[in-house]
Structure 1
Amino acid sequence: MKKYVLFDHDGVLVDTELWYFKAGERALADIGITVDREQYLRDMSRGAGTWVQARAAGADERSISRQRAARDAYYQEYLRTRPIEIEGVVEALAELSHHVRMAIVTTAKRADFELIHEKRRITQFMDFVLVREDYELAKPHPEPYLTGLKRFGATREETLVVEDSARGLTSAVAAGIDCVIVHNEFTKTQDFSQASHRINALSELKDIVLG
């Protein structure tokens, strides 16, 4: 039985992965650059992202800095206006809260995270949240999940990570923590061969935690 669960956020608790991609896609379209989605997913799996393609297309750092700000603004627009709930998440967390302690370990910036959760009930179940500003090295480096272990005072063996991306899986594996991959349509083509379990919805997590 596991005692602690560290949740990734985007794509696991809220359906934001696609909108983050679309915000970057829109920002680069503003300067005439087309983003290849499959290449983006490959880049993201190793901790890179939109700006790899921008540089390859000849964008200079000044343009990238300007379009990064545009991407952030577009993303917050999408967070305010698009449906990002994942059905059954709150109910699954409520049930899990009777059996384990939980926290969120995310690469989301604090401003985006706070915007997402202004009117949602997810964080009430969490002991703490680690956002991008709370650690130095992002996923796929193990630091985010090692930081989560330290905050809980937990061992690797009694902890479970829940992720939806290869980048997050790599981070968890490098930290020595068992990782469950929950299905996300946007990241489904990534390599999840190192996952301990794969599930279609968080409602399936209870059986793994108690197993």
Structure 2
Amino acid sequence: MKPIILFDLDGTLIDSTEAILESFHHSLRAHGAKISVSDTMITSQIGHTLETMFEGVGVESHAVASHVATYKLYYREISRQKTILLPNAIEAVREAASFARLGIVTTKTGLYSRELMEHFGMMGYFEVLIGSEHVTHHKPHPEPILTALEQMGGAISSVWMIGDTRLDVESSKRAGIECVAVTSGYDKEEQLLTLTDIIKPTALEAVKFIAQRG
């Protein structure tokens, strides 16, 4: 039986920081936000839902939904032009596909994530893609991982998650699977070390580590 490898997206396989920041600031401007929000405030929350991110920078609860809707419309327009693959991302996915079944588990909108992966010619490697609209509870809750595994079905020998934040690590632990944290994204090594010591610099190195573990 092949193992299963689940990949996060932002900070693990792709860098959409420019698209995220531009969309976030666009939404704040469109709604006449009176708060001052720095890029650092935004990037520090990547990995959480958009609702949590907007609340985290001070948007009032009653206005969060409209901010998110505006963000999503704008993000969809610019995401493919302002998102890049991280170094060796394609190589990581191809190598993983040579010995494992693959899925994507992200807190991004699943529809837009699928469009991005199709844009990069990578979606064909993945059996499932679980995005924010596919679950009720998001990372660090285990539901996104468990939903992916349920959809993949069949006999499962071992399951690994590759992600760049503590949300990925905690979600994996709560789902009862292994996780390799990578430092190519938004949490620093010292932050990741609070939850795990299985840390690699990139997704490709994480895949090689999993292959060695069998």
TM-score (ref. length: structure 1): 0.81
Aligned pair 1:54/2:58, yes or no?
Answer: yes
* Other structure's SS at 1:210 match: helix
* In 1, Cα distance between equivalents of 2:79 and 2:165: 20
Alignment deviations for residues 34-87 of structure 1 (CA, whole Å, 9 cap, x no partner): 2245554565567621223233xxx462x4333222211232233132142222
Mapping of residues 135-150 of structure 1, within 5 Å: 135-150=135-150
Alpha carbons of 1:196 and 1:161: their partners in 2 closer, same or farther (altered >3 Å)? farther
2:65 aligned with 1:65: yes
Matches within 5 A, 1:121-160: 121-150=121-150, 151-153=152-154, 158-160=158-160
Distance 1:40 1:189 in 2: 19
Aligned to 1:175: 175
SS at match of 1:179: strand
Task: Give 5+ residue unaligned stretches, structure 2.
Answer: none
| Aligned residues of 1:5 and 1:159 also touching (Cα < 8 A) | yes
Find the counterpart in structure 1 of residue 80 from structure 2: 80
1:170-193 deviation line (CA, Å, top 9, x unaligned): 211211211111223433377212
Question: Residues 173 and 40 (structure 1 numbering): CA distance in 2 closer, same or farther, change over 3 Å?
Answer: farther
Aligned residue pairs, count: 206
Compared with structure 1, are the counterparts of its residues 135 and 116 closer, same or farther at alpha carbon in structure 2 (3 Å cutoff)?
A: same
- Structure 1 CA distance for aligned equivalents of residues 11 and 108 of structure 2: 11
Given residue 72 of structure 1, which amino acid in structure 2 is its aligned partner?
K
Q: Which amino acid aligns with 2:210?
A: I
Over 3 Å counting, the alpha-carbon distance change for 1:170 and 1:38 in structure 2 is farther
Residue 167 of structure 1: how far off its partner (Å): 1.7
Distance 1:45 1:106 in 2: 8
Moved over 6 A (4+): none
With 117-126 and 171-180 compared, the bigger mean Cα shift is at 117-126
Letter in 1 for 2:208: K
Which 10-residue stretch deviates more, 192-201 or 158-167?
192-201
Alignment partner of 1:28 is 2:28: yes
State the shift of 1:5 in Å.
0.7
Contact 2:54 2:64 in 1 (8 A): no
Q: Assess, with a 3 A threshold, how the Cα gap between structure 1 residues 21 and 141 changes in structure 2: closer, same or farther.
A: farther
**3-state SS of 2:196 partner:** coil
One of 196, 207, 210 as aligned partner of 1:208: 210
Separation in structure 2 between the aligned mates of residue 136 and residue 95 of structure 1, nearest angstrom: 32
1:83-127 deviation digits (Å, cap 9, x = unpaired): 422221112211221211111112221331233133222222112
User: Following the alignment from structure 1 to structure 2, what is the Cα–Cα distance between the partners of residues 77 and 174?
Assistant: 35
TM-score normalised by the chain length of structure 2? 0.80
Compared with structure 1, are the counterparts of its residues 45 and 95 closer, same or farther at alpha carbon in structure 2 (3 Å cutoff)? Answer: closer
